[in-house]
Structure 1
Amino acid sequence: MGRVPKKVDHRERRELIAGALMRVAADGGLEAISLRHVAAEAGVTTGMVQHYFATKDDMMRFALNGIMERTTARIEAAMARLRQPAAPADLVRTLLRTLMPLDDDRRADGRVGLAFLAYSAVEPGAADLLRDGTRQMAGFLADQIRAAQAAGTVAPHLDADAAGAGLLGLMEGLSLYLLGGHYTGETALGALDAHLNLIFGNT
């Protein structure tokens, strides 16, 4: 009696390879990435890597999507834990805190995210993905500031779009200092809260 062929989970294989790519990138940067290095890290052959990803760019885009999906899941879980209905200030604070590299998983994703940011300067596909994410987050922050203005808790003259873009830039800058070991988590969160209090008051 013949042996039944094992069913291959192609999504699982692709995620295994993309996970290996992210570990290589986290340890050595994007310049360390090659089909051979990723295959060795994943424990598979270079032929298998090429079967699932025709080019290095294909691998990079798949891995970047994985980071974005994990980040979205973290944000949704953090938002779901808020007391409902959540105030705009709480939504903003939760989003920005969740995006900051304050634990091992987020630090690993953050290091790879930095590498992808540099990669996006020369790869239009990656740049589009990152720009879309930036627009969505900045828009969400601006919308929450406008909601607080409508409720009378934020000054009506404040430019919500500019303030939202500034908060996003602040979070990214603090994240860079966290990844570089310049700030502790306590220092970074204190700086974030100080700026949030300037916009929303001491909420």
Structure 2
Amino acid sequence: MPKIVDHEARRRHIAEAVHRLIDAKGMDGVSLREVASEAGVSMGMVQHYFATKDEMLLLALQHLNTRISIRVAAAPDQDSPRALLRTGILELLPLDDNRRFEARVGTAFLARSVVLDPLASLLAGLLRTGLPYVLAFYADQIRAAQTAGQIPARLDPLQEATILFAFAQGMVNPALIGHYAPDEVVAAVDYHLDRLFAPV
């Protein structure tokens, strides 16, 4: 009987090896050969799924975003706009080993996306494509809270979503270098949400 191969699982496995290499050596430490070694697979297998390093890096960035989205989708209190909004913010912040790892890798992708070459343009395009989904998710929770009378109706959901995203992103680097401890980051998020979810 022929062996059933889960190609998506193999791509994820390779993408996670890319993440580990970026975290350990930076973006310049990633090559098809290094990734094959890190993933414990043959060079031929990596080349079967990725014709170029750029293609592999794009998939790794997509997989990083997917990891975070899956956690948000699996969060409890899906019927609570505030709880879901809070989770959507906190999952982007380096509050534990896993999220610090993701933040370091994400920061490396961001830094690589602003130089002037074709790969940077591809990475920047993918980052731009993902941002509207995050903003729409935040805005949807704000609208739901407005409908429930938890957030003032006069506030613009998309503008508030933009402010929340900018606020969260502004906490990433200071938290990564230890300027803010995790409990201080969480307290700042809750303080901001307390102001947003003001009594109507």
Unaligned 5+ runs, structure 1:
none
Q: Match for residue 168 of structure 2? A: 171
1:161 Cα deviation from its structure 2 partner? 1.8
Q: Match for residue 53 of structure 2? A: 56
Q: Match for residue 191 of structure 1? A: 188
State whether structure 2 residue 154 is matched by structure 1 residue 157. Answer: yes
Q: Match for residue 94 of structure 2? A: 101
Q: Match for residue 134 of structure 2? A: 137
Q: Select which of 78, 85, 100 maps to 2:79.
A: 85
Q: Select which of 67, 70, 95 maps to 1:70.
A: 67
Letter in structure 1 aligned against 2:48:
H
* Between 4-13 and 191-200, the greater mean CA deviation after superposition: 4-13
List per-residue Cα deviations over 1:151-174 (Å, max 9, x = no partner): 433233323222110101111121
State whether structure 2 residue 19 is matched by structure 1 residue 22. Answer: yes
Q: 1:198 to 1:16 in 2, by over 3 A?
A: same
Letter in structure 2 aligned against 1:85:
D
TM-score, with normalisation over the residues of structure 1?
Answer: 0.83
Larger radius of gyration: 1
Q: 1:156 to 1:5 in 2, by over 3 A?
A: closer
Unaligned 5+ runs, structure 2:
none
* Matches of 1:153 and 1:165, distance apart in 2: 19
* Between 19-28 and 110-119, the greater mean CA deviation after superposition: 110-119
1:50 Cα deviation from its structure 2 partner? 2.2
* Matches of 2:183 and 2:95, distance apart in 1: 10
- Count residues in correspondence: 195
State whether structure 2 residue 24 is matched by structure 1 residue 31. Answer: no
State whether structure 2 residue 117 is matched by structure 1 residue 120. Answer: no
Letter in structure 2 aligned against 1:196:
L
* Matches of 1:180 and 1:153, distance apart in 2: 35
CA RMSD of aligned residues (A): 2.4
1:113 Cα deviation from its structure 2 partner? 1.1
Q: 1:48 to 1:94 in 2, by over 3 A?
A: closer
List per-residue Cα deviations over 1:118-143 (Å, max 9, x = no partner): 23335333323322321111122223
Instruction: Give the match's secondary structure for 1:99.
Output: coil
